[in-house]
Structure 1
Amino acid sequence: MTDLPQILCIGSVLWDIIGRTPAPMRFGADQPGRITRLPGGVAMNIAMTLTRFGMTPVLLSAVGRDTQGVELLAQAERLGIDARHVYRSADLPTDRYMAIECATGLVAALADAHSLEAAGDKILAPLADGRLGNAEAPWSGPVALDGNLTTDLLAQIARSPLFAKADLRVAPASPGKAERLLPLLNHPKATLYVNLEEAGILCQTEFGSAREAAEGLARRGAKRALVTDGGRDAADMSEAGILTACPPEVLVTRVTGAGDTFMAAHLVAEYAGQTREDALSRALLAAARYVSGDIAT
């Protein structure tokens, strides 16, 4: 493997509170299960995966100065993540995400990323003040962006000279926030990582397969996109064409964070010099191992 670069992970860093039951659930159901709390958020999930593959992630986010924030950043440092540049707010609480998962997948979830949204472009200060770059010498490595940032901030990033040389890897935080990525849809250096539903939202239509979604994103002006569809074929669209691959069949024990694992594994594979085909296969395998529980959180 070649030497892997540092990567910026910009977006949500919060606590995931996940309730899981092996039983199926319907609306209003009350089932026994397990409730866990662990570091999460799209940027944090990607960073945690990147450390397992040998990359050095640098977090740019907003975390409160409350006890929750202190503990969260301490966890990040213990995992080998550089959290020195995270914006610390005395007025805003540390964000949280809450989800219920059952035997058939995600039942419901709520993402409270209001502190990240309120912090706005304060989280980008290290890219302008010389700590990680400036307008004359901008960051030139990979950047993982997530859709928990506001539409205004994502639009600012799309046109900012601070990102003029960056390799932008972009993922929505959820289908409900997919439209926030529209300012980056036509960006010449952006690679979009979306699922089938999120691709449909960006294209304002419904797709029957990942290949169809990749074709639709290309028609909308996307230069590069990867589309996943659960256990069905995933697609990688670039100027070289569209290729597809089927993920391994596994028993699904969790879903929260699977897309972030896919994105991180794909990025690492590409920076290690693997072909498009091999990078897609490696990312699908990593995501499958994650949802099966083979990779610890």
Structure 2
Amino acid sequence: MKTPVTPDILCIGSVLWDVIGRSENAMRQGSDMPGRITRLPGGVALNIGMALARFGLSPALLSAVGRDAEGDELIAACTVRGLATDYIYRSDDLPTDRYMAVEGANGLIAAIADAHSLEAAGDKILRPLSDGTLPAPFTGAVALDGNLTLDLLAQIARDPLLAQADLRVAPASPGKAQRLNPFLQAGRGTLYVNLEEAGILCQTGFDSSVQAAAGLLARGALRVVVTDGGNPATVGSAESSVTQSPPPVHVARVTGAGDTFMAAHIASELRGATPDAALTDALEAAALYVSGETKI
């Protein structure tokens, strides 16, 4: 058995199949439109990992994938895309998770994330950190997504095995934004949220990413990155704040754009870019992805 290579970054969270229906027309609830339906490897952790691999890093996945035909196919797809899958928990009795979304020319219409197997696996996905498979305490970068349970996220926020890691955390969706509260309470990590998610975490509404970043920092966040679609994005900490507007683009797809933004920002900072340059890199990468020019 080969020894796995120590990764540049761990991606902890959902690894599943994305089933996406897209129409070139604007849609609303009840719309029935022609379009295309695709199935691609997805999940927040996997999307971030794929983007990191495109940016030249060697990411490894910590997640749960069923020991079923869909799971075997997904593992193979991850390997082809340059992701280390040696550390993934393979379950005999849990099916491979799935995500389904419908998108129109006016953006995301509706989505359902079925990540029940990941939630059921719980802290089994962290075993490589405690059994000696991975160096511990882990001192590298970690991209973490909010598809994990609140209990597991709270455990990670204070886990001594990750106390020295560069944690980068995303909520996965507005509906799961409150799961990031343990990182506010612990004052740990860099939180990647959109304007709506920032409002949910702060239990108020914000008019701009600048306001949202300030609100999150006031509630205990160590560092935040707040996006707002085509409006300015802000990176903020107690020491500094940077705000930039994204390039205007024609929207060809939406699902995965936030993950691409996050991955590009992480990769740029790991290469030593300044906060201003890293935000520029991230916004440009997300714009290319949304426009459909970036291959998946």
TM-score, normalised via structure 1 length = 0.96
1:9 and 2:11 equivalent? yes
Tell me by how many angstroms 1:241 deviates. 2.1
- Taking the aligned partners of 2:76 and 2:186, their CA distance within structure 1 comes to 35
Q: CA deviation at 1:160?
A: 1.0
Instruction: Give the match for residue 84 of structure 1.
Output: 86
Q: Letter of the 1:285 partner, please give it.
A: E
- Where does residue 131 of structure 1 map in the other structure? 133
2:259 equivalent in structure 1: 260
Residues 167-246 of structure 1 mapped to structure 2, 5 A cutoff = 167-246=166-245
Match of 1:37 in 2: 39
Q: Secondary structure at the match of 2:186?
A: coil
CA contact (8 A) 1:168 1:190 kept: yes
Secondary structure of the equivalent of 1:15?
Answer: strand
Q: Which runs of 5+ in 2 are unaligned?
A: 1-6
Q: Is the 8 A contact 1:48 1:81 kept in 2?
A: yes
AA aligned to 2:165 is: A
Cross-structure match for 1:294: 293
Q: How far 1:164 sits from its partner (Å)?
A: 1.1
What does the per-residue CA deviation read over 1:222-261, in whole Å, with 9 as the maximum and x for residues that have no partner? 1100000000000000122221000000000101001100
Work out the percentage of aligned pairs sharing the same amino acid. Answer: 66
CA-based RMSD of the aligned residues comes to 1.1
Match of 1:97 in 2: 99
Give the CA deviation at 1:70: 0.2
Q: Which residue of 1 aligns with 2:4?
A: none
1:255, 1:291 within 8 Å by CA — same for their partners in 2? yes
Q: Is contact 1:20–1:102 with CA below 8 Å preserved after alignment?
A: yes
Distance in structure 2 (CA, Å) of the matches to 1:65 and 1:265:
31
Q: SS in structure 2 opposite 1:185?
A: helix
- 1:27 maps to 29
Which residue of the partner structure matches residue 161 of structure 1? 160
Q: Take 1:238 and 1:273, find their aligned partners in 2: how far apart are those partners?
A: 17
**Pairs within 5 Å for 1:47-66:** 47-66=49-68
Report if aligned partners of 1:186, 1:223 keep a CA contact under 8 Å in 2: no
TM, length-normalised to structure 2: 0.97
Tell me, in whole angstroms, the C-alpha distance in 1 between the residues paired with 2:255 and 2:273. 27
Deviation at 1:189, TM superposition (A): 3.8
Q: Deviations over 1:70-128 (max 9, x none)?
A: 00000000111000110000100000000000010000000000000000000000000
Structure 1 gaps, min length 5:
none
- Cα distance in structure 2, aligned partners of 1:210 and 1:201: 14
What is the total number of aligned residue pairs between the two structures? 291
